[in-house]
Chain A
Amino acid sequence: MTGLVPHSWLNWLGIPPWVWDPLSVSLHAAFEATIVVAIVGSALGFLLAKGRFLGRDAIETVLSLPMAFPPTVVGWYLLTQMGGPGPIRNAEVRLFGHPLTFTFNGIVIAQIIESFPYCLRFSRTAIAGVDPRFEQAARAMGLSRWRTALLVTLPLARRGLVAGVAMAFGRALGDFGATMIVAGSVPMATTMPIALYNAVFYGSHEQAMVLALVQLAVAFAVLLGVSRLGKVRPW
């Protein structure tokens, strides 16, 4: 779990060792959740933007519900479905040998659910905003539907897609409510927001300040990096 950022870097950055574990858990979980969200969210965003099928709006509304729900409510649903008796818990036991509540994978799932709507909405809007005449030109050049999507639509929607992924990553990194309920505060599955909550709860205000500063720095670095990504090779 600590593989994403080498300890030597954290040391060089002056981040105290007791922050390394929650920081690594946060970054690792958000990274995994964002990969899933980016792939599935962009693909579904494309379908919703381009497809004409019954129930399209209903699907988008259902998948966007976590945006409007308090994270604790999302967390409670996940806890009851993933941890309580039922087919989802049975599937987890079959696949992983144990329920995913109060584990690192539980954090990732909670963050996927919480961050998914942001990526979906951004990607749908970005793809729907691509001038359809470019796609017509691509078809006139003989490009298949798939190649048009890959070579024309997605690159032209890139800025919106990148923004959606960035929003999803930020949301996953900052999630507290859903993660707290699904994973609690167990060793090696404690994220930065939960570590901060624990520090405040136990009256360690200096630790809380350090954790808050590190989160601020991480959020700044991520958003700066993403905004630079979006500006690469302008047209």
Chain B
Amino acid sequence: MTPALELAVARRIGEFDLDVAFTVESGISVLFGPSGAGKSLTLALIAGLMRPDAGTIAINGQVVTDCARRTYVTTQKRRIGMVFQDGLLLPHRSALDNVALAVRQASGRQARRAIARSWLERVGAERFADRRPGSLSGGQRQRVALARGLAGEPALVLLDEPLSALGSDVRQELRKLIRGVIMSSGVPAVLVTHDAAEAEELGDVIIAYDHGRVTGTRLVERPECPERPQGAPESTGPV
């Protein structure tokens, strides 16, 4: 089976040196580690928002970055979905429009809006489809951002600390929602967090980061899902 993501990249920014390699299969892979370990930088490299100094990235078997061959697929052509820490919903658009803009598999405004509405229903955000982000709570915004990240049928969805700006009650509620919606969508995900409980609850595989290096990977045991996700790596290192 083709991995959802194969990555081996190096990037230096000032004194910070990132040099990581890992593979992501189905389910949710969590990049876990302290702030400044290079997790979000890795996500930006996967998304094509930044370029590595060296290395390759392949999404669903398609090479999107290959520094040696000077291959570089632009962000908009990578078929990824992204959920940012603060949502980054377009403030001048309704929740529904925000999601509809990300729909790539349909042409025509009505068709895109219909798909967007179904995604808002899946994340429990259909009630505020017509509201603008400015009038939504943090949790509501992240629900819409999750719908937007998945609505375009991406090959891979990237979540950059999606819950870190929320209160504890909302975080707990949204952890369940994020895991449920991503698993039911079948879209492989890479999620960044520095919260150990969040990593345990959301991840199928935890990839530990420290000082720009992967220090180990671990499979998370789940009572409701005893079998490992397909292709999940064996545990290595202290995670």
Contacts and interface: CB of A to CB of B under 8 A. Distances in A.
Contacts of A234: 134
Interface residues of B, number: 25
Given A134-B90, A156-B92, A140 B132 contact: no
Contacts of B64: none
B52 interface: no
B115 to A, nearest CB: 13
Contacts of B152: 141-142
A49 interface: no
Contacts of B81: 140-141
B23 interface: no
Interface string A155-169: 110100000000000
Contacts of A221: none
Contacts of B104: 142
For the residues of A in contact with B, the DSSP-based class is: helix
A144 B132 contact: no
A127 to B, nearest CB: 15
B148 A235 contact: no
A143 B80 contact: no
B47 interface: yes
B101 A143 contact: yes
Given A134-B90, A235-B92, A142 B133 contact: no
Contact of B82 (A137, A143, A233, A235): A137
Contact of B102 (A141, A155, A156): A141
B165 interface: no
Contacts of A156: 90-92
A139 B132 contact: no
B148 A141 contact: yes
A235 B88 contact: no
Interface string B112-134: 00000000000000000000111
Contacts of A141: 76, 81-82, 101-102, 148, 152
A52 to B, nearest CB: 15
A152 interface: yes
B155 to A, nearest CB: 12
Nearest to B132: A235
A94 to B, nearest CB: 44
A133 interface: yes
Interface residues of A, number: 19
A235 B132 CA distance: 7
Contacts of A235: 91-92, 132-134
B72 interface: no
A142 B102 contact: yes
Interface string A123-163: 00000000001101111111110000001100110100000
With a 10 A CB-CB cut-off, give which of A143, A156, A234, A235 has the most chain B CB atoms.
Answer: A235
B84 A143 contact: no
A139 B90 contact: no
A140 B47 contact: yes
B101 A151 contact: yes
A83 B31 CA distance: 70
B82 A140 contact: yes
A156 B77 CA distance: 24
A141 B79 CA distance: 8
A89 B152 CA distance: 56
Contacts of B132: 235
B101 A134 contact: no
B111 interface: no
Contacts of A158: 92
B239 interface: no
Given A137-B88, A155-B92, A235-B133, A143 B76 contact: yes
Given A139-B49, A141-B148, A143-B76, 4 more contacts: A136-B47, A140-B81, A141-B82, A142-B77
12 contacts: A133-B88, A137-B88, A139-B75, A140-B76, A140-B158, A141-B76, A142-B152, A143-B101, A152-B90, A233-B92, A235-B91, A235-B134
Interface of B: 47-49, 74-77, 79-82, 84, 88, 90-92, 101-102, 104, 132-134, 148, 152, 158
Interface of A: 133-134, 136-144, 151-152, 155-156, 158, 233-235
